[in-house]
């Protein structure tokens, strides 16, 4: 009898995949950007890889945030201020995200070499747009997601990691009033308005404009030192006058102790401010004592905080 032993040799093959660079991490130097401190600034990013066994390419992208397109903004409720992130210090090349990156200037591109460094650095640029000056007060902000992809934006890629960065701008409450010549622009530095009627005659008129710029709702009050009359400098001789705003008379009787509400406005005012036409008309001149008569009218702007 013959016997036969069959030996079966089995070879096990192990497939080991070495991931180029390992996992990539993106680490911004600052995760809260104060745009009041620097309306335009360069922001720094650290990139780290888990190992340096092989070379790899990467690119960095940034989300839209709350914005519906790449004209980004920061928000305070329904109000917004233009803002954006850029790849260049000329603030012209807007950073975008996959799949809408179509040009290398719309992303930040980098690479690691085989056996090379495990950390890299990158910069991007942030800028707030032009403010009108009438933005409602409050904190304007948005959170954007910084992302790092392994690969190339126009080839194959995988999202490696991401992190959130907050961009913030504080708008303070502002309000100013000016008394100017009819049609003249708002001038917060105009100061007191001196009205010289010269020789007083019945019905003599002085016209002016009152302009208000405010990012809060506001009220304007008038008060007269002599309760709506011009008084002789040294004796009890009085000249009546009327004051109108937008054609409506302002009753100044008793206003020396209790200022009179003349107008109210809702913020924000338009770029040139809200404009109100004012007129002062001299009353009857008959037997008043000769000499200088005057009055001081104080105009107070009060915001509703």
Q: What is the pLDDT of residue 5?
A: 45
Q: What is the pLDDT of residue 22?
A: 85
Q: What is the pLDDT of residue 2?
A: 45
Query: Do 190 and 154 share a structural domain?
Result: no
Q: How far apart are CA 167 and CA 125, in angstroms?
A: 12
Query: Do 84 and 190 share a structural domain?
Result: no
Look at residue 15 and tell me if it is in a domain: no
Is residue 139 within 8 A of residue 168, CB to CB? The reply is yes
Q: For the chain, what is the domain count?
A: 2
* Per-residue pLDDT tens listing for the chain (305 residues): 344 444 444 443 333 334 468 899 999 999 999 999 999 999 999 999 988 878 899 999 999 999 999 999 999 999 999 999 999 999 999 999 999 999 999 999 999 987 878 899 999 999 999 988 778 899 999 999 999 999 999 999 999 999 999 999 999 988 999 999 999 999 999 889 999 999 999 999 999 999 999 999 999 999 999 999 999 999 999 999 999 999 999 999 999 999 999 999 998 898 889 999 999 999 999 989 999 999 999 999 998 76
Domain that includes residue 262, residue range: 175-303
- What DSSP string runs through 152-204? -TTS-EEEEEEEEEEEEEEEPP-EEEEEESTTPPP-TT---------S--TT-
Query: Do 188 and 51 share a structural domain?
Result: no
Query: Do 207 and 162 share a structural domain?
Result: no
Query: Do 213 and 159 share a structural domain?
Result: no
Q: Measured between alpha carbons, how far is residue 146 from residues 52, 85, 164, 271 in Å?
A: 23, 11, 6, 35
Query: Do 223 and 156 share a structural domain?
Result: no
User: Could you say which of 117, 149, 171 is where a domain stops?
Assistant: 171
Query: Do 75 and 33 share a structural domain?
Result: yes
Question: For position 194, which CATH number holds?
Answer: 2.60.40.2040
DSSP state of 22: -
Look at residue 1 and tell me if it is in a domain: no
Residues 93-112: b if buried by 16+ CB within 10 A, e if exposed: bbbbbeeebeeebbbbebeb
User: Could you say which of 138, 171, 204 is where a domain stops?
Assistant: 171
Compute the residue count for the chain: 305
């Amino acid at each position: 009898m013959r016997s036969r032993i069959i030996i079966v040799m089995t070879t096990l093959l192990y497939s080991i995949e070495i991931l180029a660079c390992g996992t990539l991490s993106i680490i911004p130097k600052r995760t809260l950007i104060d745009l009041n401190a620097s309306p335009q600034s360069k922001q720094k990013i650290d990139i780290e890889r888990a190992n340096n066994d092989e070379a790899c390419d990467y690119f960095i992208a940034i989300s839209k945030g709350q914005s519906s397109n790449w004209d980004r903004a920061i928000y305070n409720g329904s109000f917004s201020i233009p803002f954006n992130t850029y790849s260049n210090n000329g603030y012209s090349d807007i950073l975008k995200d996959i799949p809408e990156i179509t040009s290398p200037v719309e992303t930040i591109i980098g690479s690691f070499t085989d056996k090379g460094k495990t950390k890299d650095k990158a910069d991007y640029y942030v800028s707030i747009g032009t403010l009108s000056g009438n933005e409602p007060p409050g904190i304007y902000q948005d959170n954007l997601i910084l992302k790092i992809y392994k690969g190339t934006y126009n080839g194959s890629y995988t999202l490696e990691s991401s992190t959130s960065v907050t961009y913030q701008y504080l708008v303070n409450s502002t309000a100013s009033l000016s008394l100017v010549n009819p049609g003249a622009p708002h001038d917060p530095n105009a100061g007191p308005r001196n009205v010289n009627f010269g020789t007083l005659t019945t019905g003599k008129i002085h016209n002016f404009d009152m302009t208000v710029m405010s990012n809060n709702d506001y009220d304007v009050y008038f008060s007269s030192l002599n309760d709506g009359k011009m008084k002789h400098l040294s004796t009890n001789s009085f000249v009546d006058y009327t004051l109108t705003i937008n054609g409506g008379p302002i009753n100044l009787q008793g206003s020396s102790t209790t200022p009179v509400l003349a107008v109210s406005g809702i913020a924000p005012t338009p770029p040139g401010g809200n404009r109100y036409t004012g007129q002062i008309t001299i009353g009857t001149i008959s037997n008043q004592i000769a000499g200088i008569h005057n009055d001081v009218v104080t105009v107070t702007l009060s915001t509703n905080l």
